[in-house]
Structures are given as C-alpha cells and as structure tokens.
Chain A
Amino acid sequence: MADEGPLGSPERSVVRDALFSETAGGAFVICDASGRRVVAGHGSLRHFLRIGGAASGREPGPSLPELLGVVDTGAWSSLFADAAGYPGIMEDSLRCRRPDGGAMMLRARHAPLPGGGENRLLFLYDDTELEETRERLARARSIDTDSSARLQAAVLVNGEQVRSDRVEYACLTMPSRRIDGDFMDVLRLEPGCVDVLLGDVMGKGMEAAILGTVIKLGLFRSIATMDRSGGGSPSVKDVCAAAERGASPHLLGQGSIATLAYLRLREADGLMEFVDCGHTPIVHYSRAEDACRLIKGADMPLGFVDAQDFRPFVVPYEPGDVFLVFSDGLSECPGPDDEAFGEERVSRLVRTLSDRPASEIAAAIVRLGFEFSASGFADDVSLVCVKALPAPADEGGLAGSLSLSLGAQSKRSLGRLRTVLERALKERGSVDAEENGAIVIACLEAAANIAEHALGGGAGRCRADWRIRRGVFSVCLSYDGPDYDWLSRASSPIMEYGPRGYGLGIIQAAMDSALLCAGLGERKTLVLVRRLRCPLR
C-alpha cells in the first residue's frame, strides 16, 4: 500500500487497517516500550506510514521507525530510552523520509498507556509545514536583522563627531542578536551648547529600526525648521514636543512606543537640561560627593498620547562629573540566575571608572555588561557617556556648601542657611531683592520639607551645595530618607485656604526646576535651579 496521505474517511480506514486511529492532523499508535513494535490500534493515517498489508501488528514486519521512514534511528532510540515504566511524557522531532523521497519532520510524543502495562500511547504529528515555516521565518529574520543592523549603523547611532574642550562625549552601541530600535546622537546646535539624544523604540527588527529612523529624522527636521528668530537653539521642551508631533502618528498607528532622553549640556554654565520621555534613568556621578544619582524626569514615552506638555529639568554639574545615558538593554540585561545587570550596578561602575576618559568609561561598562550577560545582550545596548573636563580658571561665580542639622536643630540650621544664601544672593544674585527673597524662601521651604516629610521630623543631616554662576542659582540638598513627592503641588494653593501645605507650591513657583534624584540606598538629592531674571553683572 502506497503512502498516499491521510485517508478521507475514518470508516473506510477502519475497514482497511486496524492499526491507527485518526485525529485532526495526527495519529495515535499503541506501541511497545521500545517504540519498535506496533501493538494495537484502529483507524488509519497512512500519511505517516509506509504500511503494507503485512503490517497488521500481529505478524512480524517492519519496525515502527521503519514504517515511519525515520532517518536518524539513534534519535528514535533515544526517544524511547528508559521509557518502560516511565510515568511522564517523552517527545522529540524527527526527520523522516517519505516513500517518494521527500522529507518530513515528524513530531512524536508518547506517554504510558493507561492499563496497558509497559506499552506506550504514541502521538504522531506531521510538523513538516510548521518546521518549513520556521526556517523561512528564520531566513527572513536573518535578512531583516542584517538590513536593520545596516540601517542602525548608518542612520540611528551616530555622535562621535562632536568635539569640545569643556566636555568629553563618547557614544557606543552593541547591537543584540535581533536589532532593536535604539537611536542616539550628539549634536552641537550652537557654540557652548551640545544636545545628546538617546531613544529606544519598542519592538525589534526592521519595523523598530524604521520607527527609530522616522523619529530621529523627524526630530532633526523639527530642529532644522524651528523658529530661531529669538536667537539660540529651540528649547529642549520645544524640541521634544516637535519630535512627538512627528512621531506620534507613526507610533500610534503601529501600536508602538518609544522612550527618549533628550539632554542639553550648557558647557560654560555647567548645566544639564533634560526631558525624559519614560527612558531609563540617567546616571550622574558627582565628584564633589563621590557618589552617583539616578536622574529621572516626569514625562511619558512617545506614542502614549498624541501630545503632552513636557517638563524639562535642570541639573548643575562640575568638572569631573559624569553623565551616563543608556538604553535598558544594559540595565535589564539578564545574567546568572536571571538577575538583571541593574541600574545600581551601572551606578557603581560609573563611580569606579569616573577617573577615566569618557570613551574608556563607555567601553568598560559595555564590556562588563556583556561579560555579565549569560549569553550576550538580548537587547541592543546604546550609551552616551558625558564627562565634564576641568574648567578654565576664570569661571567665576560663587559657591558653597553647608552641613545642616535637622530635627531639634532645624530652626538654627535653617537660619544659618538663610543668612548664607541672603549674603550670596546680595553679592552675586539678582538686582531684584524680591527675586533673591523668593529663592531664599524656596530653599528654606525645601529644607524644612526635608526635615518634616523626608526625615519625619526626626534627627538627620542635610548637605546643601549651592552655586550662583552665570546668572543661574542652584542648590542641591542631599539627605538620607525615603521618597517624597516633590513634583506634586496644589494647583492653586492660596484658594485652598489651608493653614499648611504651601511649601511645594512656593518651591515650584520660585524655581525653574525642582527634581529629586535617588542615590544608592536611601540617599536622595533635591536639586533646585532658577535662572535669574535680573542677574547682577
């Protein structure tokens, strides 16, 4: 009997063969524990078998692997090794040869036959088409990966061309086995001002790479066409809004999202302004504190909504400080026991490597991440390392640091902070006494909030690093305590007529940027920045 494929009717099969039962697309066979001899069955699926009239199961005939045309008989033996008495399911895929010489991928799965002694109930399934589909898909993916890798290298990840004597920039990308939509660049839009962007499109392969390209080119087009009549570059907020306008239709249309970190480094001012659209935190190593902080903004990824009102934040930095912007392919890279590489590990490495040039820091972190990974990076790893170089001696400005005792000593410490800030602002602050006053009130409110909310009224210390440089006031208040929502504020505090709760409103009103950064452990740093409207010359 020739192997003709599945028989059309079970009734006919029952009449013609009594060995196999037919199922949807497969067949059940009862065989012995060695898998060599067919014991019983009914129905027929000659599709699988080169059975002849002699294969009745009651007379010696071809063995089951012979009937199936199994090519690798060793694999078949392995499939039934120690099957006698084994209570579980055993399965494998086996390459078979059809009578016509064609290949067949056979899925075989067997389990104990209830009440059948050591016999096994064997389920056979023709997996040929599925396997061929898998192979076609793998070939397509390989082509897709090659193409998206070329696209990524050519368009998505650049940034080495920016040179500066104030800040070092180093960019590095390590593509994964399947390309993600990572994109990054470093741009000098005006003298003394460098923009760093790093984004990550959800998904993999060519689709993600194309979306990354759309976003990046849309962002560039926006920057190129934005109004600059007021002088200088468009604001970070405006750049991100323009990027979102261009990207949202594509992302929403494809049900995808993209995270984006957009940073602007004002090299002479020592200020980093950024918008964070749901991206992985930026690591900031502060040389003054010899510690790292994780900087996180407040906006959603692109593609969540049509348009959002982006909130830029500003962080002051000093020579020796390092910023590391990276994709989650690094921090989420799984290592032994599926433990992620993690932001804390990245922070510790940045601190350890902070004395090295930016390019070495970037290379070392990627190498260590790769070594940590169990089997290479599962996602693209892209990073930009920014390191502030020593500043010219005539940088000017005024800066200082205070260690404040909070708790029982709060009032005295706050009085000291007030005196120091009032004096500094009188010397280098604003022409407008009210503006200086607003800054002092906001700083004292922040310190009082730390004492009351972050430290719970208990004893604790807070370090205040303040600076007035080139018309910008900043203060970093560092303490050890739990999270506190510094971004929340009453929409109109005065209308609430409450006796309390004005502090955050005052801080938000007086400062251009108020940002809480988390360090290692319980360390927190509240960073307040205000660009003086009427700076003293």
Chain B
Amino acid sequence: MEYELVERPGAVVLKITARTMDQDNAPRMVAALGPAVSAGRSVVLDLSSVRFVNSAGLGAIVSLVRDVGKRGGAIRICSPQPTVKALFAMVHLESIASIDADLSAALEALPDGHGG
C-alpha cells in the first residue's frame, strides 16, 4: 500500500507511505479521503515518509485542500521532509493550508483539538 487511513477522534489521518507523490499515485491517494471529505470531516495529511513530491503531486494536494475547504472541513499537513518543504515554500502552500512539524502538533491544532 502507498498510504494508510487512520481514524482519530475528530479527524482522519492520511499517512502516505510511498516515498514519492507524483502523477501516478497522488490522485489515488487523495481520492481515498473522498468519503471523509464529503462528510465534512477534518483531515490530516502525514507526509513524514515522503521524500519527493513533483508538481503533479502538489496539484493533487492543492485539490484536496480546496475540496476540504468547500465541504467545511479543516485540513493540516504535517511532517514534510526537506525537499517537500522546499517545494511548499516555493509555491507558498502555507497561504492556503497549515503545515505542522509533526502529527501530534497537527492533531492538536485541529478546531476540536483531539490530539493524541
């Protein structure tokens, strides 16, 4: 599997286990969150294992951020590795999505603060 869906109180965590996110796998990963997004739930995207995201992977993440916002949910992205962090900085992703250093910080920061 290239990803894991983990239920947490008040949020669904999508942990990407693949080392890269690109046009071949990113849409599939993001689609796994479809039901949670449709239900207006808050989501966390855990990128701690991802070493590389290309522009297609970035596009899928941006689409996810947009869809969650439309459904009234909240989204946080956590644990980007240096190369991924560099990509997010270049495109100013932080202007549309919150980025946290790790998963616990992301869960804590969710509106209902169901960390741990």
Contact = CB atoms under 8 A, between A and B. Distances in A.
Contacts of B38: none
A441 B91 CA distance: 12
Contact of B62 (A411, A494, A509): A494
A433 interface: yes
B83 interface: yes
A494 B92 contact: yes
A50 B85 CA distance: 98
Given A448-B54, A497-B63, A497-B66, A434 B93 contact: no
Nearest to A503: B55
Contacts of B66: 497
Interface string A415-458: 00010000000000000111111101100110010000000000
B86 interface: yes
Given A448-B55, A500-B56, A500-B59, A506 B95 contact: no
Q: Which range holds the interface residue count of chain B?
A: 20 to 34
Contact of B91 (A433, A437, A506): A506
Interface of A is mostly: helix
Interface in A490-529: 492-495, 497-503, 505-506, 509-510
Q: Pick the most buried of A418, A433, A494, A495: most chain B CB atoms within 10 A of its CB.
A: A494
Contacts of A441: 52-54, 83, 86-87, 90
Contact of A411 (B24, B82, B90, B91): B24
Given A497-B63, A498-B62, A437 B87 contact: yes
Q: Which range holds the interface residue count of chain A?
A: 20 to 34
Nearest to B94: A494
Nearest to B58: A502
Nearest to B63: A499
Interface in B51-94: 52-56, 58-60, 62-63, 66, 81-87, 89-93
B32 interface: no
A498 B61 CA distance: 10
Interface of A: 411, 418, 432-438, 440-441, 444-445, 448, 492-495, 497-503, 505-506, 509-510
23 contacts: A411-B22, A432-B82, A433-B82, A433-B83, A434-B82, A434-B83, A437-B82, A437-B84, A437-B87, A438-B87, A440-B52, A440-B83, A441-B53, A441-B90, A445-B54, A445-B55, A493-B91, A494-B62, A494-B92, A497-B63, A498-B62, A499-B56, A501-B55
Give 9 closest A-B pairs by Cβ, nearest first: A437-B83, A433-B82, A509-B90, A438-B86, A499-B59, A502-B55, A437-B86, A434-B86, A503-B55
